[in-house]
A and B are shown apart, each in its own frame.
Chain A
Amino acid sequence: MMPPEQTCEQQLEALRKEFEEFAYIVSHDLKAPLRAINNLSAWIGEDLGENQEPEVQNNLQLLQNRTQRMERMINGLLEYSRVSRQDLEVQEVSVEAMVQRLAGAFPQSQTLEVHPSHLPTFKTYAKKLETVFQQLLQNAVTFNEQETPEAWIEAQEQADAFVFKVRDNGIGIPAEAQPKVFNIFFTVQPKDRHETLGVGLAITRKIIQFVGGSISVQSTPGHGTDFMFTWPKTI
Chain B
Amino acid sequence: MKTKQAHILLVEDDPQDVASTKRAFLSQGIDNPVHVAPSGKVALDMLQGRGRPALDPIPRIILLDLDLPEMSGLDFLTALRKDPLLKACSVFVITGQSTPKDLLQAYDLNVAGYIVKPIQYTSFVDIIATLNSFWNLIELPN
Contacts and interface: CB of A to CB of B under 8 A. Distances in A.
26 contacts: A24-B99, A27-B98, A28-B67, A28-B96, A31-B96, A31-B119, A32-B14, A32-B96, A35-B16, A35-B96, A35-B117, A35-B118, A35-B119, A36-B16, A38-B120, A39-B19, A39-B20, A39-B121, A40-B16, A42-B120, A42-B121, A43-B121, A64-B120, A68-B119, A68-B120, A71-B119
B122 interface: yes
Report the interface size class on chain A. Answer: 10 to 19
Nearest to B119: A71
A43 B99 CA distance: 30
Interface string B88-128: 00000000111100000000000000000111111010000
Interface of B: 14, 16-17, 19-20, 23, 67, 96-99, 117-122, 124
Contacts of B23: 43
Interface in A3-43: 24, 27-28, 31-32, 34-36, 38-40, 42-43
A166 B122 CA distance: 41
A64 B20 CA distance: 16
A67 interface: yes
Given A39-B20, A68-B119, 12 more contacts: A27-B96, A27-B98, A34-B119, A35-B17, A35-B117, A36-B16, A38-B119, A38-B120, A38-B121, A39-B121, A40-B16, A71-B119
